[in-house]
Amino acid sequence: MSSQSEFWDDERKIREAFNVSNFICPMKGINYPCVVCKECQKMELKQYFLENGLIEKTKNSSLISLIIEIKDPFDDMLLKRICKTLFKETGIVMSEPEPGFSVTFFITPALLEKVESKEDLIKFIKDFPHTFLTETISAKSALNKWERVTAKRLAWNMGVR
């Protein structure tokens, strides 16, 4: 970490992770994301520590990994499912997070082209742990409602009046 970036807040570090260009990987010869192979000499790998996460940035791609404090196995399942679905939907959320982390965002110039507002995405990533935990509350309330309605119907089918 450079002496200057030590004083950056998380938002500033995530903004820096977005600072990627269409650098052609000399190892792979194509526009391969260097942050995935992490083998070539010219990728300029940098690491930035977040309050609850880690950024790995190279010239053409970045990984932003966050830890979400999850104690409930149901929430853990929800997170895995939403990450896989968001991967299919956006390509920006990785279907499998980096080892040791709860969620990993993948940044390349091509993926950023699909994004309407980079600043909104920076805030989204920064707030994601909080957003996710809020969403688990609505998932649980939907499940509770399903339980009540289904139990009533099944009790009726059982002939219990």
* Rounded CA separation 122/13 (Å): 9
Q: How far is the CB of 41 from Zn ion (least distance, A)?
A: 9
Q: How far is the CB of 118 from Zn ion (least distance, A)?
A: 23
Q: Is 35 in the site for Zn ion (CB under 5 A)?
A: no
Selected from 17, 34, 79, 93, the binder of Zn ion by CB under 5 A is: 34
Name the one range near Zn ion by CB under 5 A: 43-51, 84-92, 137-145, 148-156: 43-51
Determine contact, residues 40/27, Cβ cutoff 8 Å. Answer: yes
- The DSSP call for residue 93 is B
Q: How far is the CB of 84 from Zn ion (least distance, A)?
A: 26
Selected from 8, 11, 31, 40, the binder of Zn ion by CB under 5 A is: 40
98: closest CA among 65, 124, 68? 65
In the 3-class helix/strand/coil scheme, how is 51-86 assigned residue by residue?
Answer: CCEEEEECCCCEEEEECCCCCCHHHHHHHHHHHHHH
**AA letter at 47:** Q
Selected from 17, 20, 25, 50, the binder of Zn ion by CB under 5 A is: 25
Q: Going by DSSP bridges, is the β-strand pair 103-107/62-66 parallel, antiparallel, or unpaired?
A: antiparallel
Selected from 14, 20, 35, 43, the binder of Zn ion by CB under 5 A is: 43
Measured from the CB atom, is 29 or 100 closer to Zn ion?
29
Q: How far is the CB of 61 from Zn ion (least distance, A)?
A: 9
Measured from the CB atom, is 33 or 97 closer to Zn ion?
33
106: closest CA among 140, 144, 156, 57? 57
Catalog residues that contact Zn ion under the rule CB under 5 A: 25, 27, 34, 40, 43
